[in-house]
Amino acid sequence: QRYCQDVYRGQLASVHSAARNEELKKLAKTFNNLISPWIGAVTSRRKGKWESYWEDSSPWNYANWAPTHPLHGITTCTILSVRDGLWRSRFCFQIRPFICQY
């Protein structure tokens, strides 16, 4: 997120529809067919319960989680699978490609 903001003056992508999810999956595949990129969803414990939210503060009105995701127990960030378009929780310190939006 910080890199998107500092270098590109943008935000990690938020996804609000199945069509947008598919568009971003296709975009990501053109860059790297194997490594899934970060999107801007974070899951963490807030006010005593686990919830997911967008880093850009946009409304949480769509989700495409893989079965058993998001993970709870530790704050996680989210990748958009280039294989199936589903979202999966990952430790936020992993180095991966990412999708910025403007």
Report yes or no: 8 and 49 within 8 Å, Cβ to Cβ. Answer: no
Looking at residue 27, its pLDDT comes to 92
**Does residue 5 surpass a pLDDT of 90?**
no
Number of domain units in the chain? 1
Instruction: Quote the domain boundaries for residue 76.
Output: 2-101
Q: How many CB atoms lie within 10 A of CB 52?
A: 18
Looking at residue 102, its pLDDT comes to 84
Q: Which residues of 59-79 are buried (b: 16+ CB within 10 A; e: fewer)?
A: eeeeebbeeebbeeeeebbbb
pLDDT digits over 32-51, tens only?
888 999 999 999 998 899 99
Beginning with the edge strand found earlier in the chain, give each strand of the sheet holding 76-80 in spatial order.
Answer: 49-54, 38-46, 76-80, 87-90
For residue 79, give the CATH number of its domain.
Answer: 3.10.100.10
Q: Which residues of 23-35 are buried (b: 16+ CB within 10 A; e: fewer)?
A: ebbeebeeeeeee
Quote the pTM value.
0.92
